[in-house]
Amino acid sequence: MILRTLLGVLAIVLLVTGAYFGLVVSPPDAFQGDYVRIMYAHVPNAWVAYLSIATVFVTSVLYLWKRRAIYDHVAHSAAELGVLFTGLALATGMIWGKPVWGTWWTWDARLVTTAILFLIYIGYLLVRALSEDSERGAKVAAIVGIIGSLDVPVIHYSVLWFRTLHQPASIVRGDIKMAPPMLMALMTSLLAFTVLFIYLLTLRVHLQQLHTARTESLAHEV
Amino acid sequence: MPVLWIALAYGIVSMVLLVYTARLRRRVRELETAVGPQPRPLVQPAHPR
């Protein structure tokens, strides 16, 4: 409880610092001008979306293998966060695209595969919500979660595999194509969103456990 | 006007995350009240002084 509160406070401090670096300290881009500041809101959302889906993949495999409820709780919570952050990555990407590319949306490989990921995990949540047998629902959702996560490497490498409008990664292992003040702003935002993700995930898992405890106690009363 | 686009992006992200976190925290508080006190820790001293 105290640890979770501390995580929440740390996330707020880092988010405010990241916003300060992104909006004030970071210089405008040579080509995009001040529009580049939208990157500090867009990239961290996409990063946390990846992180959420990776969590769904690992915990879904563990659930199918060990059948322990905690893995299912974490997978369910991470999938919900995955939908949230993928939605925000798509929204901020469209807001960045309109002034820079001249269009809200284009049928570009990166954009389409990200939209597919968003739809897959909405489907994951629907499978859970509509299932009457919770154990069977968890099993089917775990399979959907594992298959859906295969889209993440496709999204990541789509800018290399296909001819796209979306720019390739600016930070590749051993090769950073970014000025130091911009890199500092981006890294601070990435750290802030990672801490926020851990905070939200622990809170969401706690809610899931409380919900299960409540359902079980009501079943006992009946 | 870059300021408007930047404000739109940051505004949407902030509002969505604030509303989601607030709803999550409220739901946790409600269920904590409904479920009651949590079980005591499993590991305790055998002979408390």
Residue B43 has pLDDT above 80, yes or no: no
Smallest Cβ–Cβ distance between A88 and the set B2, B3, B13 belongs to B13
The number of domains in chain B is 1
The pLDDT score that the predictor gives to residue B39 is 60
> How many CB contacts within 8 angstroms connect chain A with chain B?
65
Tokens for A25, please give them.
């300290």
Does any domain span residue B3? yes
Domains of chain A listed by start with CATH number: 2-221 (1.20.120)
Decide if the complex's ipTM is over 0.95: no
Does any domain span residue B41? no
Q: Which residues on adjacent β-strands are paired with residue A172? A: A175
Does any domain span residue B46? no
Contact B9 A38 (CB under 8 A): yes
Does any domain span residue B44? no
CB A86, CB A114: distance < 8 Å: yes
Q: Residue A8's CB: how many other CB atoms inside 10 A?
A: 19
**Is A128's Cβ below 8 Å from some Cβ in B?**
no
Smallest Cβ–Cβ distance between A99 and the set B5, B16, B20 belongs to B5
The pLDDT score that the predictor gives to residue A125 is 95
Q: Which residue has the higher pLDDT, A176 or B22?
A: B22
pLDDT in tens, A26-40: 999 988 899 999 999
Question: What global pTM score does this model have?
Answer: 0.90
Does any domain span residue B47? no
Contact A98 B5 (CB under 8 A): yes
Nearest CA among A204, A47, A46 for reference residue A125:
A204
CB A83, CB A178: distance < 8 Å: no
Contact B27 A92 (CB under 8 A): no
Tokens for B24, please give them.
């999550």
Contact B2 A37 (CB under 8 A): yes
Does any domain span residue B43? no
The pLDDT score that the predictor gives to residue B37 is 65
User: The domain containing residue B2 runs over which residues?
Assistant: 1-35
Does any domain span residue B29? yes
CA gap A125, A121 in Å, rounded? 6
Does any domain span residue B16? yes
DSSP A150: T
Smallest Cβ–Cβ distance between B2 and the set A33, A87, A207 belongs to A33
